[in-house]
Structures are given as C-alpha cells and as structure tokens.
C-alpha cells in the first residue's frame, strides 16, 4: 500500500483546540472522576486527582468545556461559589436524578484548568437561566474594575480575573428548551448583547448549532445572528445501532465494527454540508464550526446507573478517534475546535477510574499519538489501497502535518483482520531521521481493564528506509504516527567581531 505525503503542499493550520475535551456534571465525570475533595485518601491537589492531572498534562489538553451539556442549561452558577458548607444541594435530574452538592463549582473548575494547562470553555445557561445571570457570570470571571461581581470574587478568595475567552450560549436548544431556530437566534442576540468584553479579553461567542444535519437551523442562525457570533457548534455522536439499542461497547462482531467506523466517518458529510450554509453568509470563514460534542455512544455498562453513561473503550473507539481527528484536520478551514465527550468515566472517555484505581483508554493513547499535530500546518497526503470486503471506507485513514520543521504522518489501518504493508513516500522533505510509534496489535476488542491497565499501550514501530521510502506494517485495527526530522540546520559561522572593532574605534 502506497502512502504519499507532499510536505511542500501546505493546507492551513490545524488548531490545537480540535483536541479539546468536555466535562459535565454527569455520572462520575466530575465527582470521583477528576474531583475527590481535599480530604480524600486518593492523592490530590486541592481536591483534584493527581493521577488524572498527570495524564491530561501528558496529552496536552488545549481546552476543557464545562459544566455541560444538558446540565449547563439547568445550572445556576451562584450555587457553586462561596464556602462549600453553604452551597445548596440540587437534584441533578438531567443525569441520574442524584444529589449535586455543588462542591465543584466555578473556582474549582478554573483551578483544574490551571492544573492541567487547558483553557476554560464555559457553557452558559440560556434555556432555564437569565440574561442577567450569564452577564454577571462573565463579569465575575473577567472584570477587574470595581463592581459587585469583582467584589464577590475577591470575597471568595480570587483577586485577579481569570479572563475566560470561550463562552457557549446554551446547549442543544432544539432539545433543551425545545426552541425553534428563529427563537434561539433572537435569544442569542439578547444574551450576547450583555456578554461584555472586559479589559483585553475579547470573548469568543459560541452559538448553539444544529442537531447533526439540520441545515435550516444553521441557515436561520447565520442569517439572523451571524454578525454577533464567532462560532457555531455541531454535536455528532457515533451510535452503531439505533437510539434505543445502541450496541455494546465491548461485544460486537466485525460487521458492527465496520458499521461503527462508517458512522463515525459520516460526520465529514455533515461538516461539509454545514460549511456550505456558513459559506453563504460568511465567505471569509470568520466564524468557526466547533464540534463541541463528539464520540461513541454505546449502551451503558451492565449494572451501572443508566443516567451515568458509563461505557468501556476498545481499539474500535481508538479507530473512531483517528478517523474523526483526521476529518477535523481535513476540514480545518471551518473546524477550529472540537471536544470529545467526555473526559473521565462518561461515553468515549480518556480515563476510567474505580476508587483509587485509574486507567487510560485506547482513545487517550490516540490523543497522545496525535498531539504532535496541534497547531501544526497540515500537508497533503494521498493513499492507494485495495477496498475492504464489507466496509465502504478506504482501508487506510491518514493525516500529515509540519511543525517547527518536523514532519508527522499518522495512519490507521481500518481492516478488522488484515495487516497492511505500507510504503511511505515523502515529497518535498529532506529527512535525516525517521521513527514511529504504534497502537494496536490486531485485536478490534482490545481494551484496558483495572486488572490489566496496560494491555493496550503505545509501542515503538519497526520501520526500515529503502530507496528513500519508509517501509512499515500496520496490523489490523491499528494507529501509528511516524516522525521525520530534517537534517540539523548547519550553524552559521560566527561573524568576526565588527562590534568589537567599532567599540575599539569609539574608545580611541
């Protein structure tokens, strides 16, 4: 199989923000997942799990969306500030009907973002909140000038503003609030008027977008609110079956494996269709398309609360991640942010926890392999491979980028049961060294468990260079990243010291 990369054919920047994550007050994402409280025996920093922080720092998360999702549209931020003992309990009737003690609120979220080195992305409440509530939340976070919100923030222990740029206006309003696009567009216009820029922090105003391929929503939104928004969101989940019977996360056959990957791949058609509508109103692509919820959604794991959306994660999820990230790269003109759902213990998570135990999923390993593409310049890549029996996708999905003179090529073998020998032919790049890393050993069901947390892990890729081509083999259902470094730039000879001469002359 031939994979050609034309390193001289630059295709625009891949925003690091497409590697964003999503964390919601849902099941064990926040509580037990990333937050255990200061008094916990589990090692923590200010109540945040140290083991989780270490993994998230390693994969370099650029931004984190919070507090939902659907939860955002019933969240009232004032419940989550001030002394914890005085914070009210509420019922999280969106997810599992459990008690929410609000011990993880605004200050805790922003501290967590600092600890993992991610930019915060806050989703405001439009469906059950008020304009004043959202406007004051922004003031509380971003204002420096003396005023009631600044004073309140200082009283709660934070002197300096956090200067949060990313603000979402509601979540899935076609469901949360059952709004029509005309109504939502008007609500967006109201809310955004009172969402102020403080100091140098210019807000990125993110409007809630369509349900998948609903193009009318985008049309109405762009037409009537396009000038006030900076991004429109898109939510797309990969569900192998139907909504009532989504399919198991771990028990699936080869046809279901291929169906899942084909469904993941469908997002590209939706992105392209939404982009056509956006182009009509915004030909310069000022407005971004933020895929701020994506990933696999299976039946919940047996014996768990159905409202907690807990699922395991196999090499099939890793393939969905590779396919999706490659699509975001290819559509980088519009897609400038994406947030996989969700960070810990929910849906296609990076991390699963059980008490003090923690494991990283195959999906997390793909984010690790792919982090080199963050803020890199995409370059063109092409492949020639025989079709797969029983699957409509090309046998290989690939992407390539250059950053700081280093070329990275990522490629995944879609086959469930056939290895692909690859001949990588790189044009327009003078490589001095080549190395590679790979995930997956041919088993589509491979996964990490608390008993065997390292069953799936990244390992060195064996490769050879012959006649200027890089040769390696991709086992079935595997993902690899190859790094090509240029010859070290020769040091320019030190210039003879005209400065000294001039200095001597001057001192005479």
For ligand AHR, the closer of residues 296 and 374 by Cβ is: 296
DSSP string, 392-451: -S-SEEEEEEEETTEEEEEEEE--SS--EEEEEEEES--EEEEEEEEE--S-TT-B--SS
Shortest distance, position 73 Cβ to ligand AHR, whole Å: 9
Confirm if 406 and 7 have CB atoms less than 8 A apart.
Answer: no
Q: Which of 293, 380, 423, 437 is catalytic?
A: 293
> Is 172 annotated in the active site?
yes
How far is 156 from 110, CA to CA, in rounded Å?
13
For ligand AHR, the closer of residues 176 and 265 by Cβ is: 176
Shortest distance, position 184 Cβ to ligand AHR, whole Å: 15
DSSP string, 23-61: --SSTTSTBTTTB--TT-SS-EETTEEHHHHHHHHHTT-
For ligand AHR, the closer of residues 122 and 347 by Cβ is: 347
- Write the DSSP symbol of residue 228: G
Residue from 44, 127, 171, 348 binding ligand AHR (CB under 6 A)? 171
Residues in contact with ligand AHR, shown as a per-residue x/- string from 243 to 282 under the rule CB under 6 A: ----------------------------------------
- Residue 110 lies near ligand AHR (rule: CB under 6 A): no
For ligand AHR, the closer of residues 18 and 346 by Cβ is: 346
431-439 and 478-486 beta bridge pairing: antiparallel
> Is 293 annotated in the active site?
yes
Confirm if 278 and 406 have CB atoms less than 8 A apart.
Answer: no
For ligand AHR, the closer of residues 307 and 442 by Cβ is: 307
Residues in contact with ligand AHR, shown as a per-residue x/- string from 45 to 84 under the rule CB under 6 A: -----------------------xxx--------------
Interface of this chain with ligand AHR, residues 398 to 437, rule: CB under 6 A:
none
- Residue 24 lies near ligand AHR (rule: CB under 6 A): yes
- Residue 239 lies near ligand AHR (rule: CB under 6 A): no
For ligand AHR, the closer of residues 282 and 293 by Cβ is: 293
Shortest distance, position 62 Cβ to ligand AHR, whole Å: 19
Which residues, in sequence order, are CB contacts of 144 under 8 Å at separation 6+?
A: 150, 160, 161, 198, 199
Shortest distance, position 415 Cβ to ligand AHR, whole Å: 30
Q: At what angle do helices 106-116 and 131-142 cross, to 10 degrees?
A: 50
Residue nearest to ligand AHR (CB): 69
Q: Give one word for 423, left, alpha or beta, with left for phi > 0 and alpha for psi -120 to 50.
A: beta
CA distances to 192, 233, 289, 333, 373 from 227, in Å: 11, 16, 15, 19, 31
Residues in contact with ligand AHR, shown as a per-residue x/- string from 284 to 313 under the rule CB under 6 A: ---------x--------------------
Q: Which of 108, 172, 182, 256 is catalytic?
A: 172
Task: Output helix, strand, coil percentages for the chain, rounded to the nearest 5.
Answer: 30, 30, 40
Which H or E run includes 20?
Answer: strand 20-22
Q: Is the dihedral of CA 122, 128, 134, 136 positive or negative?
A: negative
How far is 88 from 81, CA to CA, in rounded Å?
10
For ligand AHR, the closer of residues 26 and 426 by Cβ is: 26
For ligand AHR, the closer of residues 128 and 441 by Cβ is: 128
For residue 382, the cross-strand partners are: 4
Structure tokens at 449: 């468990």
Residue from 32, 139, 172, 282 binding ligand AHR (CB under 6 A)? 172
Omega before 67 within 30 of 0, i.e. cis: yes
Shortest distance, position 360 Cβ to ligand AHR, whole Å: 20
Shortest distance, position 275 Cβ to ligand AHR, whole Å: 22
Distance of CA 345 to the CA centre of its chain: 16
Residues in contact with ligand AHR, shown as a per-residue x/- string from 336 to 355 under the rule CB under 6 A: -----xx----x--------
Shortest distance, position 69 Cβ to ligand AHR, whole Å: 3
Catalytic residue list: 172, 293
Residues near ligand AHR (CB under 6 A): 24, 68-70, 171-172, 293, 341-342, 347
């Amino acid at each position: 199989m031939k994979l050609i990369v034309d390193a001289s054919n630059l295709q625009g920047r891949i925003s690091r923000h497409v590697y964003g994550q999503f964390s919601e007050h849902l099941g064990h994402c926040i509580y037990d997942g990333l937050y255990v409280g200061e008094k916990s025996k589990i090692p923590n920093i200010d109540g945040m799990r140290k083991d989780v922080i270490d993994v998230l720092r390693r994969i370099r998360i650029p931004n984190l969306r919070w507090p939902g999702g659907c939860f955002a549209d019933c969240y009232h931020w004032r419940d989550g500030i001030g002394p914890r003992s005085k914070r009210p309990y509420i019922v999280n009737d969106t997810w599992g009907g459990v008690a929410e003690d609000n011990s993880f609120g605004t200050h805790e979220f922003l501290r967590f973002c600092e600890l993992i080195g991610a930019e915060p992305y806050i989703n405001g409440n439009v469906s059950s909140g008020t304009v004043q509530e959202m406007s004051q939340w922004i003031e509380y976070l971003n204002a420096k000038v003396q005023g009631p919100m600044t004073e309140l923030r200082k009283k709660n222990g934070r002197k300096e503003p956090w200067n949060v740029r990313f603000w979402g206006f509601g979540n899935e309003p076609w469901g949360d609030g059952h709004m029509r696009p005309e109504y939502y567009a008007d609500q967006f216009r109201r809310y955004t008027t009172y969402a102020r820029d403080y100091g140098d922090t210019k807000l990125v105003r993110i409007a809630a977008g369509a349900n998948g391929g609903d193009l009318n929503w985008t049309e109405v939104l762009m037409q009537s609110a396009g000038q006030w928004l900076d991004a429109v969101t898109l939510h797309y989940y990969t569900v192998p079956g139907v909504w009532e019977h989504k399919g198991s996360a771990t028990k699936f056959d080869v046809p279901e494996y291929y169906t899942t990957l084909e469904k993941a791949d469908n997002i590209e058609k939706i992105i392209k269709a939404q982009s056509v509508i956006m182009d009509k109103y915004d030909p310069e692509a000022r407005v971004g398309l933020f895929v701020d919820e994506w990933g696999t959604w299976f039946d919940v794991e047996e014996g768990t609360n159905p409202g907690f959306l807990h699922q395991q994660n196999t090499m099939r999820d890793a393939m969905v991640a590779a396919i999706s990230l490659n699509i975001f790269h290819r559509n980088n003109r519009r897609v400038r942010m994406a947030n996989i759902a969700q960070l810990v213990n929910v849906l296609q998570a990076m991390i699963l926890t059980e008490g003090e135990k923690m494991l990283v999923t195959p999906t997390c390993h793909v984010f690790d392999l792919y982090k080199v593409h963050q803020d890199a310049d995409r370059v063109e890549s092409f492949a020639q491979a025989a079709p797969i029996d029983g699957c409509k996708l090309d046998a290989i999905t690939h992407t390539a980028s250059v950053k700081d003179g280093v070329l990275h090529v990522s490629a995944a073998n879609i086959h469930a049961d056939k290895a692909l020998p690859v001949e990588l032919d790189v044009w327009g790049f003078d490589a001095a060294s080549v190395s590679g890393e790979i995930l997956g050993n041919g088993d589509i069901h491979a996964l990490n468990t608390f008993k065997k947390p390292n069953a799936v892990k990244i390992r060195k890729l064996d490769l050879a260079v012959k006649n200027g081509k890089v040769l390696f083999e991709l086992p079935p259902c595997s993902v690899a990243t190859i790094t090509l470094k240029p010859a070290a730039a020769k040091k320019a000879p030190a210039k003879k010291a005209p400065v000294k001469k001039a200095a001597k002359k001057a001192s005479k």
